[in-house]
Chain A
């Protein structure tokens, strides 16, 4: 079946502008994660959604970052007033169940460049 998809694949924006990144998880997956991967670095956890529960936002680096998940499916990560240090690849992953119970399937990522 279809895997996790993300859009856009690339986004170039000017410093100070807002951006929205989209993630379509695998159908039926209740858990959805957002990560940030800077060049040559590991995966930095940002936020986690599980079903209808309140999201775990503990990884968001600042209040300029927010995310929503509508109807338990599609998720949008919004970065307001982008800064150059926000430049990274933003990866979304979904799993059938959360925590340590299910394999995470990653999307192809959105490469964000802030000029």
Chain B
């Protein structure tokens, strides 16, 4: 089955700096890679996703890159703000599979 690893587990950055979270996956058939943000005490919410037919996707201050050959994908947050502080989860799934395989999460703290 799929194995998704996520690093780092915790990340602290100064407000205005960039944050990068990386995930690797093992199943070359995986083709959909969403990122979820979970604020303290709240439910996970999708913030950005990428499919395997593109290498990069951007939405304002958030971008995701995908390297299919190396089987890794990354979340990039630029100009971080205190409200970006949360736990971020990556995930991978196959088009015909039933499961989303989640990483173990990265706790991001943006220091004002």
Chain A residues with CB under 8 A of B43: 91, 106-109
Interface check A72, CB cutoff 8 A: no
Q: How far is the CB of B107 from chain A (nearest CB, A)?
A: 8
Contact B105 A42 (CB under 8 A): yes
Interface check B68, CB cutoff 8 A: no
Q: How far is the CB of A16 from chain B (nearest CB, A)?
A: 29
Q: Mark A82-115, 1 if CB is under 8 A from B, else 0.
A: 0000000001000000111101101111000000
Chain A residues with CB under 8 A of B112: none
Complex: A101 Cα to B95 Cα, angstroms: 7
In the complex, the number of residue pairs spanning A and B with C-beta atoms less than 8 Å apart equals 57
Given the known inter-chain contacts A103-B46, A103-B49, A106-B44, please indicate yes or no for A42 contacting B102, CB distance below 8 A: yes
Interface check A50, CB cutoff 8 A: yes
Contact A56 B98 (CB under 8 A): yes
Contact pick for B101, options A45, A50, A98, A104, CB 8 Å = A45
Contact A99 B97 (CB under 8 A): yes
Interface check A59, CB cutoff 8 A: yes
Contact B99 A48 (CB under 8 A): yes
Task: Report which B residues bind A (CB closer than 8 A).
Answer: 6, 30-32, 34, 36, 42-46, 49, 51, 89, 93-105
Name 11 interchain pairs, CB-CB below 8 A, sorted by A: A33-B100, A42-B102, A45-B100, A45-B101, A91-B44, A99-B97, A100-B31, A100-B93, A100-B95, A103-B34, A106-B45
